Structures are given as structure tokens and as C-alpha cells.
Amino acid sequence: MKTQFKRFLVALLLIVTLPFIWIACNPVNPPSNPSNPSTPKNTETLEWEGTMFFNHPDNPFLKEIPVDAMVHQYSDTMIHLIKQSCLINGQPTNVRVGTGDYGSAIYFADKGTEKKKVYKKVTVGSLTGIGKEYMNVPIPSGAKPARGSDAHLSIVDKDAGCAYLFWIYTDKGGTYFDENLSNDKRSAQSGNTIFTNSSGIFEDGRATVAAGWCTLSAIVWPKELREGRINHALNFSVKVTNGNGHVPPATHHDGALKDNPFAIPEGTLIRIKPSVNIDAIQGLTYVEKVIFKAIQKYGMYCNDTNGAGLSIGGVASSCLPNKEKEYESYDGYTKLEMASGGGNIYLKNLPWESLEVIYTGDLIPNNPNFTVTSGCEPPLGS
């Protein structure tokens, strides 16, 4: 009887303990939650910079400006005009990097990203709606345009080597001319594509910025600020643009002023004079030194017309995993200062007296009849 009782106890003990032993050896991991807001999103945008595409030999934004480059005959007058357009309380301090609402929202896709239709907006009379022409676009989950009225959105398909570019993009629908499109709410006022191994410039100017080149070209990336160097030119916009023509490397213009011969043509190249020692300028912040050195070496090109001041192109903070915090970490910029500028980084110490306009060519008018079949994803449904 004692032996049987012992066997009974051993069996009972095994029945009770075996499940716990199995669980200990085979832990159950909770399922991942892809919607968890703490999960990093769009982290690739933090690791790219301006020399990682458009490495074609014809890309002017990767070329250093020769020390003896020809200065424009009206350089001083043109710089003064820009300076006057940047006044705030009598000081020319409305100079910024567009990392806020009017920056470039950039996302990355690959062959596994689901493609979705993006329709082109058209205008008939007083009505604006969605036409039948569309593009099949690999849109990553969570991709949103920059928050300003320009609503720029760029998507880079790394596997296809194709950049998708949109201006006034929305995924919230609108007034549709074709009721059959009511389930496809994504649309843009304009859009195009370009191969990432090209120069980044549209020969016929059909880009989403007025000067005719890719919105990814010549902008400030977070990685470049982290590493303290920018190895390419920058772009800028001002409100005092020339409405009579553009200059190379621009292939198009939308200038605002037609009665001022000193207005800034889109395509205009400006640099800080080579003789200037930027490190010796008193009061510069870390970001200002990084950006001014790039302007001195590679220059900055006028790419569009804006509403006020001088705005240098940058990656919009809204598309970054940590939003504005990515830019707030740099010396000289507080959260309050960035918030008051719509998320922009202000450059209050631009050395105006050391700027000069480099001559790149004479004015060129727009040619509305000139079109080139370009891009890596032609529009469909037209």
C-alpha cells in the first residue's frame, strides 16, 4: 500500500508541475502592435542625405563653385532686394530652413510597398476636382504631406530607383468629376516621377517646384546637421522672383515681378564669398556654420516663389519619427523658437555683406509647347 501511495503522489506531482515546466521552456511572447505610437516610423529619412541619389555628372548641385566664378553685374542690387524682403522689425532676420509646414515630407518605399492610385486635380471653369489621370504609387503606411498649403509629398522607391513627387497632395478626397472615382481619395494638384540616377532636373520643367527640378534636390537633411557637413548645394525661395524668365540650371519659372529688372530669376546661384572665414564670424550657431559653409562651397539656387523672407529647403519635421525634437536638439534652437516659426530653423546671422550672385546665363522664357516624356512611372487613365 505504501508503494502504491508513493506512486500516486509522484504522478500527482508530475501532473501539477509539468504545465509550469512547459511554460518556462516555451514563453509566450505578446504579439507586436504595429499601431503602437511609440514604434519608430520613417526612420530611413534620418539616415539619408543629399548625395545618396541624383549622382549623374550633369547634376549641378553636387559641384563646387570655382573660386574665380563670374559674379553677376547686378549682384549687389539683387542681394539688396532680397535683404529688404527679409525685414522683421527693420532687421533682415526672416531667413530660415524650411523644416516646418512648408518643408519636404519624404518617405521611402520598396518592391513590397502596396501601390495606390493618386489622381491629378484638374480645373474646369470655376470648379476644381479630380480628373481621370492617375499614377500608381507605392505609398508607405502613415505617409502624409507637409502641413502647409503646398502639401509637398515625396516618396522614394529604393528598389525601382524612382522618386514620386507631389504638390498639394491630399488623401481626404474632394469634389469629383467622375463618380466612379469616389473610393479613391488620394489626389495632387501636380505630380511627376524621376529616376534617382538622373540629374534630378526635368528638362521640360514639369516638376513640383517652379524651377523644374526635384523637390529632393539641394535640401537640408537631418543626418547632415547631425554630422556637421553638407556636401552639396542648397535651394532657396524668395518672394521677389523674376516673372520674365529663368536662368540655368532652372528649366521653368513662375516669377512674381515683371516690372523689376533686378528681381531674382529662378535658377539664380548665390554664394558666400570664398574669402570669408565663416568660423571667425561672431555669434553663429552650430546650424548656421554648417549651412553657411555649404553655401560658400556649393552655393544656393533659387527654386521657387514664396510669401515672405528667404527660405532654404529642408526635410519637414512632420515626417520624422521624433517630429520637431530631431531639430530641437541643435545648439541655439529652443522648442519655443521653433514652434513660433511653424517648426522652421531660423538663421538670424546670414552675412549679407558677404553674399554674391554668380552669373549662370541669360534669362530664358517659358516654352509652353515643349514637353518631354520623362519619369519612371507614366500617368495612366488619361
Side-chain-side CA neighbours of 297 within 13 Å: the count stands at 14
Phi, psi of 246 (to 5 degrees): -125, 170
Closest alpha carbon to 290 in 321, 327, 318, 316: 327
Helices (H), the chain: 2-25, 75-84, 222-227, 286-297, 325-328, 335-340
Statement: residue 26 has pLDDT above 80: no
pLDDT tier at 378, thresholds 50, 70, 90: low
Q: What is residue 79's predicted lDDT score, i.e. its pLDDT?
A: 98
Domain map (residue ranges) of the chain: 48-358
pLDDT tier at 342, thresholds 50, 70, 90: low
Write the pLDDT tens digit of every residue in 161-208. 999 999 999 887 654 444 444 456 788 988 999 999 999 999 989 899
Q: Considering only residues 23 and 220, tell me which one the structure prediction assigns the higher pLDDT.
A: 220
Instruction: Please check whether residue 141 is in contact with residue 190, taking contact to mean a CB–CB distance below 8 angstroms.
Output: no
Q: What is residue 330's predicted lDDT score, i.e. its pLDDT?
A: 59
Q: What is residue 143's predicted lDDT score, i.e. its pLDDT?
A: 94
Q: Give how far the C-alpha of residue 156 lies from the chain's centroid of Cα atoms, to the nearest Å.
A: 11
Q: What is residue 337's predicted lDDT score, i.e. its pLDDT?
A: 43
Q: What is residue 292's predicted lDDT score, i.e. its pLDDT?
A: 98
Which helix (H) or strand (E) segment holds residue 313: the answer is strand 310-313
Write the pLDDT tens digit of every residue in 29-72. 433 333 333 334 678 898 999 999 999 999 999 999 999 999 99
pLDDT > 90: percent of the chain: 60
Phi, psi of 81 (to 5 degrees): -60, -45
What is the arithmetic mean of pLDDT over 323-342?
54
Q: What is residue 376's predicted lDDT score, i.e. its pLDDT?
A: 86
pLDDT tier at 340, thresholds 50, 70, 90: very low
For the whole model, what pTM was predicted?
0.84
